[in-house]
Chain A
């Protein structure tokens, strides 16, 4: 049975959350924003997987893996909706006026 340091994984997922947050705060391109959010989401999923692997009670650990399965499905669905919104916006701008910048700046 392999043994690994628990703290190393927490450090990794924290770093990934940091990278994702940084991307969300600085990028202005929609696809890059989506990618930044997915990086942070992967950090959350990784959390569930390694906490499951290190769980003191097997039944609890299994729960963590199940949550990871559900979350992977959820994240992919979320990306699809985001792309749909942006495609609709793109089509509108493409057919009306590309230079029309954001109306809502708040």
Chain B
């Protein structure tokens, strides 16, 4: 195995283990720790895929902002509606459904090229030219999504005097 392949195998293993641990550990603060590692690990995969801009974005938005948001949510609502998970058991039916999803998706592996495929790298400048040009409407829609979210979230959490 070449060096990038070993790195990919390691990063993939870490991603699956941290994702599963985040959902299975008993203490919610540990969950945040695991999910933080998971986000950083995915950023490393993006660097491996020669998408440095996305790697940095993943670090900033997911590993940074989203993790802190989730931690904040846990701190504020602690010992109220979500203390720790009441039951950490693993149901058979959900596990079977999740496993089935993976097996069904794996059927697509047959038709993909089996050997290694070279990775295409893109300069971030090309990314921005296109994103602010032909695909500008996506960003406009993202802006609308943010407008809706910010106004709605402010209304929900602002102290009302009714």
Report A-B touching, CB under 8 Å.
yes
Chain A residues within 8 Å of B, Cβ to Cβ: 1-8, 10-12, 14-23, 25-32, 34-36, 38-39, 42, 46, 49-50, 52-55, 58, 61-63, 65-70, 72-81, 83-91, 93-94, 98
Complex Cα distance A93/B93, Å?
32
Complex Cα distance A23/B108, Å?
24
- Are the CB atoms of A83 and B72 closer together than 8 Å? yes
Interface string of B36-66 (1 = CB under 8 A from A): 0011001001101111011001100110011
Complex Cα distance A66/B28, Å?
33
Given known A-B contacts A39-B19, A46-B45, A69-B54, A31 and B74 have beta carbons under 8 A apart: yes
Task: Please name 13 further chain A to chain B contacts, defined as beta carbons within 8 Å, in addition to the given A5-B114, A42-B39, sorted by A numbering.
Answer: A16-B15, A19-B23, A31-B77, A35-B22, A53-B49, A65-B122, A72-B61, A81-B152, A83-B72, A84-B157, A87-B77, A87-B156, A98-B80
Q: What are 19 A-B contacts with C-beta separation under 8 Å?
A: A2-B118, A5-B116, A10-B112, A17-B102, A18-B99, A28-B86, A32-B31, A35-B23, A35-B31, A38-B35, A53-B50, A55-B120, A62-B122, A72-B58, A76-B61, A77-B142, A84-B152, A87-B157, A89-B81
Task: Report A49 CB to chain B, min CB distance, Å.
Answer: 6
Given known A-B contacts A19-B98, A35-B22, A65-B51, A3 and B118 have beta carbons under 8 A apart: yes
Task: Compute the total of residue contacts between A and B using a CB distance below 8 Å.
Answer: 248
Complex Cα distance A73/B131, Å?
13
> Which residues of B are found within 8 Å of A89, using beta-carbon distances?
81
B54: contacting residue among A1, A38, A68, CB under 8 A:
A68
- Are the CB atoms of A77 and B146 closer together than 8 Å? yes
The 7 closest A-B pairs by CB, nearest first: A84-B153, A25-B94, A22-B98, A3-B116, A14-B105, A18-B102, A23-B23
Chain B residues within 8 Å of A, Cβ to Cβ: 4-5, 8-9, 12, 15-16, 19-20, 22-23, 28, 31, 35, 38-39, 42, 45-46, 48-51, 53-54, 57-58, 61-62, 65-66, 69-70, 72-74, 76-77, 80-82, 84-87, 89-91, 93-95, 97-99, 101-102, 105-106, 108-109, 112-122, 126-127, 130-131, 135, 138-139, 142, 145-146, 149-150, 152-154, 156-157
Q: Which residue of A lies closest to B104 (CB)?
A: A14
Q: Which residue of A lies closest to B101 (CB)?
A: A18
Q: Which residue of B lies closest to A88 (CB)?
A: B156
> Which residues of B are found within 8 Å of A72, using beta-carbon distances?
54, 57-58, 61-62
